[in-house]
Chain A
Amino acid sequence: MARDKKFVSERIGDFARDLFGSGTGRLTLIGSFILIFYVILAVFAPYIAPYDPIERVGLSLEPPSKDFWFGTDNLGRDILSRVIYGSRIALSISFLGVAVAFIIGVPLGLISGYVGGWLDRVLTLIMDAMYVFPGLILAIAVAAVLGPGIVNISISIAVVYTPTYFRVIRNQVAAVKDEMYVEAARALGAKRWEIILKYIFPNVLPSVVVVLSMNLADALMTEAGLSFLGLGIAPPTPDWGFDLNSGQRFVLSRAWWGIVFPGLAIVFAALGFSIFSEGINELLNPTIRERR
């Protein structure tokens, strides 16, 4: 275990050096700033937002002004406040969705890869079938049956990403399970679950961290897509995707503020998440860097 710790601290050292030294580091830093910015918005929304997001506070479809920086929607609600509150739904669903996928996919992958045999073959087939299916269509199918709600949408998103975790972990486990140190543990009389949890899991974890950070941006976009299609959270809860859906009805009235601002919130968040994951990816897998 002592060796393991040293290894991790070495990683952190490299990480910090890279973070402040190189171009990739700066990218990761910008990405994490954006991430933190959204987390702050979500947590402190009641203190930051100027108005109640679900109350009529102005006239319908007022363009941006001194009182309403982002204008008002067709129900006279302040769009700035709705965008700020919207980060709550967006973040909690993408985090929850990815977390559920992780909690289901990782153990299944560990067991499937380590045990092998027919169980492995069946699970791999099922996960592969789910994997080839376009994520959004799968999520739509599940969300259509489950109905709206934070938990339901998170489950729909989790269904999409579970196969990803399963595949990454399963292949890694299959690759390391015959390594010397696993054999040594087995020779010392370690139990099956001990080998999986204490020896294999820590060694395959870094590869999942990269997948995790990449999935966040994807999950955010999937959530926005679902709620744009009207499969997300029930109104009047502020939600970027759904607000775009209602904003669309006023395209011809040239109410651009109802479309531009919620959309920019999505783009900025997705951009931040992907920059962050790109940076993490390059830090953890330095071989990619040489290819550029």
Chain B
Amino acid sequence: MSLRSYILTRIILALPMIFILLVVIFFLLRIIPGDPVLAILGGKAPLEVIEQKRHEMGLDKPIMVQFFDYLKDVFTGNLGTSTLTNRPVIEELKDRFPATLELTIFAFIIALLIGLFWGAESAWRKDEPLDIGARVYSVLLYSVPVFWFGLILQLIFASYLRWLPVGGRIPAVTSFEVRTGLYVLDAIMSGDWKGLLDVLRYLALPSITLGMVTSSIFLRMVRNNTVLILSKDLVKAARARGLKKRVVLYGHAVKNAFVPIFTIIGMQFASLLAGAILTETTFSWPGIGSYLVMKIRYRDFPAIQGTIIFFGLFIVVISIIIDIVNALVDPRVRY
């Protein structure tokens, strides 16, 4: 299969997935007892007001009509209007998305660096202290809730040492021009180095928290797969040719161990997003995760549903991208 037709097939295969996802979200949020109208207005509203609101939200129509309205809205990019702010949900998500993206990208980089290098070196020195340390590290961090780890880092670095801010993203007024919403990128593009340092100081604790917790899984995956490859003939041949350790380990072993690792990384991205919700709440990071939690507190149902759909679509898109990159790296995947 050519690369282009592989990509096309992959995207077409994702369509029923998206459809099912939308169906599940729609019915899940309606089967469950609890009346959004009562939740918004409170139990003591007069009957006419309740009926009025119900009509406004389209809740008096038959369920199938509601369902098709919902599908039409989602495909035209309309995720409803927040009952709290009266703004379109999609606009609010757009405002907050860059913060979440920035946090997850940096956490991802940290997780990847720790996982790749520590994992590869542990595989090379199997059963030596470095390797045992890696195993203890991944078991421990795997059992640590990401929000608690964040709280501990806050205690140490923000409260006791006072090196880093306890939470938030940046003062309301940035010293640089906001173009992409990814502050690190914006600061670099404006050449504002003092601003960049400020941005990084706020970003440090949340991204290290999320990155280290995620790295425990990467580390284990990289180590175990590299150990497997290291016992193969291709590594023996590379060593027999007198290649340096660095070339044998990273150029031959890790490279060949990368396909299963990459698949796991793709799957981990989804849980990285879930971790981002908790991390954002811990550090008052103004992304989509803390947005969702805030909207739940005010029982803003259109916003909750919109955010969940957004998360779902984002995950599907990411999984398509991961598969395509996988096919680029390893042509065997395409068949």
Binding site for B on A (CB under 8 A): 125-126, 128-130, 132-137, 140-142, 144-147, 159, 217, 221, 224-225, 228-231, 241, 244, 247-248, 251-252, 254, 256, 259-260, 263, 266-267, 270-271, 274-275, 291
The residue in chain B whose Cβ has the minimal distance to the Cβ of A274 is B143
B311 at the interface (CB under 8 A from A): yes
Give B144-190 interface residues, CB cut-off 8 Å to A. 144-145, 147-148, 151-152, 154-155, 158-160, 166
Q: Which residues of B contact A221 (CB under 8 A)?
A: 145
21 contacts between A and B (CB under 8 A): A126-B20, A132-B21, A133-B270, A133-B315, A134-B270, A136-B271, A137-B273, A141-B25, A144-B299, A144-B304, A224-B148, A229-B296, A241-B145, A248-B154, A251-B158, A252-B166, A259-B152, A260-B152, A267-B143, A270-B145, A274-B143
Binding site for A on B (CB under 8 A): 16-17, 20-21, 23-25, 28-29, 32-34, 139-140, 142-145, 147-148, 151-152, 154-155, 158-160, 166, 224, 228, 270-271, 273-275, 277-278, 281-282, 292-293, 296-297, 299, 301, 304, 308, 311-312, 315-316, 319
The residue in chain A whose Cβ has the minimal distance to the Cβ of B147 is A228
Bound form: Cα–Cα A146–B29 in Å: 9
| CB pair B155 A137 closer than 8 Å | no
Bound form: Cα–Cα A275–B142 in Å: 11
Q: How far is the CB of A47 from chain B (nearest CB, A)?
A: 28
User: Which residue in B16, B17, B24, B281 is a CB contact (below 8 Å) of A229?
Assistant: B281
Q: How far is the CB of B12 from chain A (nearest CB, A)?
A: 15
Bound form: Cα–Cα A271–B160 in Å: 28
Q: How far is the CB of B305 from chain A (nearest CB, A)?
A: 8
| CB pair A141 B308 closer than 8 Å | yes
| CB pair B142 A263 closer than 8 Å | no
User: Which residue in A128, A145, A263 is a CB contact (below 8 Å) of B152?
Assistant: A263
Bound form: Cα–Cα A259–B152 in Å: 8
User: Which residue in A134, A251, A260 is a CB contact (below 8 Å) of B274?
Assistant: A134
| CB pair A228 B274 closer than 8 Å | no
Bound form: Cα–Cα A259–B139 in Å: 21
The 10 closest A-B pairs by CB, nearest first: A134-B274, A136-B274, A263-B148, A129-B20, A270-B143, A271-B143, A144-B296, A134-B270, A145-B32, A129-B21
Q: Which residues of A contact B277 (CB under 8 A)?
A: 136-137, 140, 229
User: Which residue in B148, B158, B296 is a CB contact (below 8 Å) of A267?
Assistant: B148
Q: A132-B319, A145-B32 are in contact. Are A229 and B278 (CB under 8 A)?
A: yes
Q: Which residues of A contact B270 (CB under 8 A)?
A: 132-134
Bound form: Cα–Cα A190–B143 in Å: 46
Bound form: Cα–Cα A137–B100 in Å: 15
| Chain B, interface SS category | helix
Q: How far is the CB of B318 from chain A (nearest CB, A)?
A: 11
Residue of A133, A159, A244, A267 with most partner-chain B CB within 10 A: A133
| CB pair A225 B143 closer than 8 Å | no
Q: How far is the CB of B247 from chain A (nearest CB, A)?
A: 26
| CB pair B151 A141 closer than 8 Å | no
Q: How far is the CB of B153 from chain A (nearest CB, A)?
A: 10
Residue of B32, B278, B304, B315 with most partner-chain A CB within 10 A: B32
| CB pair A274 B142 closer than 8 Å | yes
| CB pair A244 B228 closer than 8 Å | no
| CB pair A251 B34 closer than 8 Å | no
The residue in chain A whose Cβ has the minimal distance to the Cβ of B304 is A144
| CB pair B273 A244 closer than 8 Å | no
Q: Which residues of B contact A140 (CB under 8 A)?
A: 277, 292-293, 296
| CB pair B151 A145 closer than 8 Å | no
The residue in chain B whose Cβ has the minimal distance to the Cβ of A259 is B151
Bound form: Cα–Cα A290–B16 in Å: 40
Q: How far is the CB of B251 from chain A (nearest CB, A)?
A: 24
Q: Which residues of B contact A274 (CB under 8 A)?
A: 139, 142-143
Bound form: Cα–Cα A176–B330 in Å: 33
Q: How far is the CB of A73 from chain B (nearest CB, A)?
A: 14
User: Which residue in B33, B228, B311 is a CB contact (below 8 Å) of A291?
Assistant: B228
Q: How far is the CB of B94 from chain A (nearest CB, A)?
A: 19
Q: Which residues of B contact A275 (CB under 8 A)?
A: 139
User: Which residue in B21, B281, B315 is a CB contact (below 8 Å) of A134?
Assistant: B315
The residue in chain B whose Cβ has the minimal distance to the Cβ of A253 is B159
The residue in chain A whose Cβ has the minimal distance to the Cβ of B17 is A129
Q: How far is the CB of B220 from chain A (nearest CB, A)?
A: 12
Given contacts A142-B32, A248-B282, A270-B144, 16 further A-B contacts (CB under 8 A): A126-B20, A129-B17, A132-B270, A134-B270, A134-B315, A135-B274, A137-B308, A141-B28, A145-B301, A147-B34, A225-B147, A231-B296, A267-B144, A270-B143, A271-B139, A274-B142
Bound form: Cα–Cα A8–B21 in Å: 41
Bound form: Cα–Cα A252–B160 in Å: 8
Bound form: Cα–Cα A47–B291 in Å: 42
The residue in chain B whose Cβ has the minimal distance to the Cβ of A262 is B148
| CB pair B297 A230 closer than 8 Å | yes
